[in-house]
Chains A and B, each alone.
Chain A
Amino acid sequence: MSHILLRHRDIPEISSLNVYRKNGGFEAFKKAVTKMKPGQVTDLVKASGLRGRGGAGFPTGVKWSFIDNKVWPHYVVANADESEPGTFKDREIMESNPFQFLEGVAIASYAVGANTAYVYLRGEFWQAAQFLDEKIAELEKAGLLGGRLFGTNYSLRIHTHLGAGAYICGEETAMLESIEGKRGQPRIRPPFPAVYGLYGKPTVVNNVETLTNLPMILANGADWYKSLGTPDSAGVKVFSLSGRVRKPGNYELPFGTTFRQLIYDHGGGVQDGRPVKAIMPAGASSSFIVANDQVLDTKMDYASVRTLGADLGSASVIVIDDTVPLDWVIHKTIHFFKHESCGKCTPCREGTYWMMHLIDRIPQSGYLKADVDLLLNVATQMQNKCLCPLGEFSTMAVVTGIERFPQDFRKA
Chain B
Amino acid sequence: MSLAQEHPKEVKQILAKYPPEHKRSAVMPLLYLAQRAEGYITKQAMQDIADTLEISVTDVGAIVGFYTLYHDKKEGKYRMQVCTDLPCALRGADQFMESLCANLGIKVGETTADGLLTLEAVTCLAGCDRAPMFQIQSRAGLKYYEDMTVDKTMELVEALKNAGQEAE
Contacts and interface: CB of A to CB of B under 8 A. Distances in A.
Given A124-B135, A161-B28, A332-B85, A87 B129 contact: no
A165 B126 CA distance: 12
Interface residues of A, number: 52
B26 A181 contact: yes
Interface string A133-173: 00000000000000000000000000101111111000000
Interface stretch (A217-225, A237-245, A376-384, A385-393): A237-245
B63 A182 contact: yes
Contacts of B25: 161, 179-181
Contacts of A83: 123-124, 126
Contacts of B66: 166, 183-184, 342
Nearest to A318: B87
Contacts of A284: 85-86, 124
B139 interface: no
B116 interface: no
Interface string B76-117: 000000000111011100000000000000000000000000
A248 B128 contact: yes
Nearest to B62: A183
Interface stretch (A49-57, A296-304, A333-341): A333-341
A82 B124 CA distance: 9
Nearest to B122: A165
Given A86-B87, A181-B63, A332-B85, A124 B28 contact: no
Contacts, number: 136
Nearest to B128: A242
A329 interface: yes
Instruction: Give chain B's interface residue range (CB within 8 Å of chain A).
Output: 35 or more
Contact of A199 (B22, B31, B143): B22
Contacts of B19: 199
B68 interface: yes
Contacts of A318: 86-87, 90, 128
A329 B94 CA distance: 13
Given A164-B31, A164-B67, A182-B63, A332 B89 contact: yes
A340 B141 CA distance: 23
A320 B90 contact: yes
A124 B86 contact: no
Contacts of B62: 183
Contact of B125 (A124, A163, A242, A342): A124
Interface of A: 82-88, 90-91, 122-127, 130, 159, 161-167, 178-184, 199, 240-244, 248-250, 284, 316, 318, 320, 324, 329, 332-333, 336, 339-340, 342
15 contacts: A83-B126, A84-B124, A85-B124, A86-B86, A87-B124, A88-B126, A123-B69, A124-B126, A159-B18, A161-B28, A165-B68, A181-B25, A183-B63, A184-B66, A242-B90
Given A244-B90, A329-B86, 5 more contacts: A86-B87, A124-B125, A130-B141, A166-B67, A336-B123
Interface of B: 17-19, 22, 24-29, 31-32, 53, 55, 59, 62-63, 66-70, 85-87, 89-91, 122-130, 135, 141-144
